[in-house]
Structure 1
Amino acid sequence: MQTTTLSFSNLHNHGELFANLFRARKQSFIIQKNWDLPEADDMEFDQYDTPQSRWIAIHDKGEVMAGIRLTPTTARCGIYSYMIRDAQKGILGGSIPQDLLYEEAPVEEQTWECSRVFVSHSIPQMYRRRVHFKMVEAMTGSARELGATRLIALTGANWPRWYGRCGLDAQAIGPEMWIDDGNFQCVSINLAGKMH
C-alpha cells in the first residue's frame, strides 16, 4: 500500500493516479452515497479542486483505496474559498447548513481544510483499519509539510469513536447535524503535537 500526495505541479509524474482518484471519488460519493455532485468523464469534482489544493491517494497496484483533499483556508477562486467557510457564508445554497460552526470559519495560513475523505467500498472490512491508519499518517504528514498546524473537517459525527484510536487530537467546533445521509460535525484536528 502506497500513499502519494498529488498537486497540479506533480500529477504528470504519477500517470493515471490523479484521474483514478477522481474516478474513485465518483464511485464513493455519487454512486454509493448518491450525493448530487458534478461529474465528467466518469470523475467527481467540484469548485475546490484547484491548484491550491492537494490530494492524498492511498493506492495499491493502480487501485485507489482511499483519498483525502487538503485545501488551505486562505484559498480563493472567484467567489469560493473552502467548503466549510462557503457553507457558513451561504454560498453553497443550503446543501450544508450555515450554522455548522460555533464561531466564524478561520482564514489562517496554518489551518487547512480536510474534505472529500473516502475509503473505497471495495476494501474488505478486515483491511479498513489498516487503510484508516495509513490515511491518518499520510494526512498529518502532508499537512505538516504544507505548514499546517491544524486541520478542520466536516466529518461523520461518530468521529470520537475512532479519531483517538488513530492518534488524532481533535475537538468539536460545531454542532452535530443531519446532512444528506447521516449525522455530521465540524472538528478541529491539532497537529502541533505532531510537529518535528
Structure 2
Amino acid sequence: MQTTTLSFENIHNHGELFANMLRARRDLFIERNKWDLPEALGMEYDQYDTPASRWVVVHDELGHVLAGNRLTPTTARCGIYSYMIRDAQKGLLDTIPSELLYDEAPVGETVWESSRGFVTQKVPLHQRRPIYFNLVQELARAARSLGASQCLALLNANWPLWNKRVGIDMTAMGPVMEIDGIRNQVISMNFATNLH
C-alpha cells in the first residue's frame, strides 16, 4: 500500500493515478451513492478540482486506487466558488444545507478544507481501518506541509467513534444534519499542536 499527494505540479510523475482517483470517485459517488455530480470520460469532478487543490490517494503498486481525499485552500476562488463548506453556507450549493456551521466559514492561509474523502467499495471491510488510517495520516502530513494549522471537513456524524484512533484533534463546528439520509457534521481538524 502506498500513499501519494498529487498536485497539478507533480501529476505527470504518477501516470494514471489522478484519472484513476477520479474514476474511483465516480464509481462511489455517482454509481453507488447516486449523487447528481458532473462526470466526463468515466470520471467524477467538480468546481473544486482546480490547480489550487491537492489530492491524497491511497493506492497499490499498480496504481489501483483504494482511498482518496481532496484538500482545498479556504482562500481559493474559481468564478463564484471558494470552497465547498463556505459555498454551502452562502447558499450556492443546493445539495448541502446552508446552516451547516455555528459561525461564519473561515477563510485564511492556514485553514484548508478536506472534501470528497472515500474508501472504495472494492476494499474488504477488514482492510478498511488501516487504509483509512493511512489516508488520514497523509492528509495531516500534506496539510501541515502546505502550512495548514486547521482543516475543515463535512463528515459522517459518527466521527467521535474513531477520531482518537487516527491521532487527530477534531472538534464539531456545526450541528448534526441529515444529507441524503446520512447524518453529517462539519468538524475541524486541529494541526497547530503538531506543526514544527
Given the two structures, how large is their TM-score scaled by the length of structure 1? 0.98
* Letter of the structure 1 residue corresponding to residue 10 of structure 2: N
Structure 2 distance, partners of 1:47, 1:181, is 24
Given the two structures, how large is their TM-score scaled by the length of structure 2? 0.98
Query: How has the CA–CA distance of structure 1 residues 111 and 187 changed in structure 2, closer, same or farther, with 3 Å as cutoff?
Result: same
* Letter of the structure 1 residue corresponding to residue 187 of structure 2: V
The answer on 1:119 being equivalent to 2:119 is yes
Q: Secondary structure at the match of 2:100?
A: coil
Structure 2: gaps spanning 5 or more residues: none
The answer on 1:159 being equivalent to 2:122 is no
Q: Secondary structure at the match of 2:165?
A: coil
Structure 1 distance, partners of 2:83, 2:91, is 12
The answer on 1:128 being equivalent to 2:128 is yes
Question: Residue 24 of structure 1 corresponds to which residue in structure 2?
Answer: 24
Q: Deviations over 1:113-147 (max 9, x none)?
A: 00000000110111111101101110000000000
Aligned-residue CA RMSD (Å): 0.7
Count of residues in Structure 1 that have an aligned counterpart in Structure 2: 195
Question: Residue 138 of structure 2 corresponds to which residue in structure 1?
Answer: 138
Q: Secondary structure at the match of 1:36?
A: coil
The answer on 1:72 being equivalent to 2:73 is yes
Q: Give the alignment of 1:89-108 within 5 angstroms.
A: 89-92=90-93, 94-108=94-108
Q: Deviations over 1:45-72 (max 9, x none)?
A: 0000000000011000221000000000
Q: Secondary structure at the match of 1:106?
A: coil
Q: Secondary structure at the match of 1:114?
A: strand
Question: Residue 40 of structure 1 corresponds to which residue in structure 2?
Answer: 40
- Provide runs of 4+ in structure 1 moved above 2 Å: none
Question: Residue 176 of structure 1 corresponds to which residue in structure 2?
Answer: 176
Contact kept in structure 2, 1:33 and 1:181, CA below 8 Å: no
* Letter of the structure 1 residue corresponding to residue 92 of structure 2: I
Structure 1 distance, partners of 2:155, 2:75, is 21
Structure 1 distance, partners of 2:36, 2:100, is 20
* Letter of the structure 2 residue corresponding to residue 165 of structure 1: R
Structure 2 distance, partners of 1:133, 1:73, is 24
